[in-house]
Amino acid sequence: MKLKEFAKKVGLSPTTVSRALSGYPEVSETTRARVAEAAMRLGYSPNVNAVRLKTGRAGAIGVVMGRAGEFHFAEFMAGMAERLVAEETDILVIPMADPNHEDEMQLYRRLVESRRVDAIIVHSPKPNDERIALLHELGMPFLVHGRSAIDVPHAWLDIDNEAAIKRATSHLIDLGHRRIAMINGRPGATYALHRDSGYRMALQSHGIEPDAQLIANGNFTDELGFRFARSFLEQPNPPTAFVAGSMMTALGVYRAVRSLGMQIGRDVSVIAHDDVFPYLTADNMVPSLSATRSSMRAAGTRCADLVLQLLSGRSPLEIHELWPVELILRESTGPARPSSP
């Protein structure tokens, strides 16, 4: 039943009905109760439209947004939106405060029970991610953006972080670099572990022992990139190259190198991971930035597509996509200079 039709049956204007059902304060409690009763009796749903009632679908995909990483999140969502725009399916963003384990589980549980989403996309999974176990147990369709080693069947899409960073680090070694710093993301997430692993594998396969003094973890901001790079470069035995976790981190590294009177691509080489932001491009940095590249937006589009497939009955077990990552060389990488004695 449409709003107009229902309003006619109740003998009120659609505006009043609408206001009554959404708890708008201008409508009296009596009218609100009358409308609510009629809605119940006539089967008019105050909360979902007729199509959704019929299909049993909420018409939305849920994503939980923490405080960090909003710029990645925005690109991912823009990608999802590109796929969902023709599907009458929306994105329900659930705000989350600082991650506190129990609260987070509770939040996912409530989200499932509220029936406001048909599926959930889980971001930044950990190797043993309890959110995955919970969603599986509750029977909620879900897709993991990233990977988890947890022994619960789940659909996932990830990029090959390990191979990407291994390749980037190996390339720097091939250029003669031996002191290579690594500025990684926040510890704990699988992607950060994979990148760490790729970095170590490259070093060790060339007989170089990883040096804890050259490894840092933290949020992807230019502020942290700057601070880590400065402190590394001020060590007695500084790095000659950097692997940076994001474009923002790279901005900070560039600034730190410049602030010490050195030149990117000549004194210090940099390779960063580029999620392909429309507003900050590796090509446009000065000097242009060598990068491992994978579009966060494309991942969002594909994840939305895979969720729609899940909802159409495709088995989660069939949905395991590992995307290769390109390494694109530009001006920020060059041969290691012979070290002064």
In angstroms, rounded to a whole number, what is the distance separating the alpha carbons of residues 167 and 165?
5
Q: Which is nearer to a second copy, 99 or 176 (CB)?
A: 99
Beta bridge partners of 280: 277
Which of 154, 226, 223 has the alpha carbon at shortest distance from 190?
154
User: What amino acid occupies position 111?
Assistant: L
Pair of tokens at residue 13: 């204007």
Q: Which is nearer to a second copy, 216 or 247 (CB)?
A: 247
- 292 phi and psi angles, rounded to 5 deg: -85, 130
In angstroms, rounded to a whole number, what is the distance separating the alpha carbons of residues 325 and 165?
9
* Residues near 98 by beta carbon (within 8 Å), at least 6 away in sequence: 66, 67
In the complex, least distance from residue 279 CB atom to a second copy, rounded to whole angstroms: 4
In the complex, least distance from residue 107 CB atom to a second copy, rounded to whole angstroms: 10
Q: Which is nearer to a second copy, 56 or 207 (CB)?
A: 56
In the complex, least distance from residue 93 CB atom to a second copy, rounded to whole angstroms: 4
Contact indicator for 92, 60 with CB cutoff of 8 Å: yes
Q: Which is nearer to a second copy, 74 or 152 (CB)?
A: 74
Helix (H, G, I), strand (E, B) or coil at 223: helix
- Output 232-235 pairs: Cβ under 8 A, ≥24 positions apart: 232/181, 233/257, 233/260, 233/262, 233/268, 234/260
In the complex, least distance from residue 227 CB atom to a second copy, rounded to whole angstroms: 12
Q: Which is nearer to a second copy, 106 or 339 (CB)?
A: 106
In angstroms, rounded to a whole number, what is the distance separating the alpha carbons of residues 37 and 41?
6
In the complex, least distance from residue 300 CB atom to a second copy, rounded to whole angstroms: 10
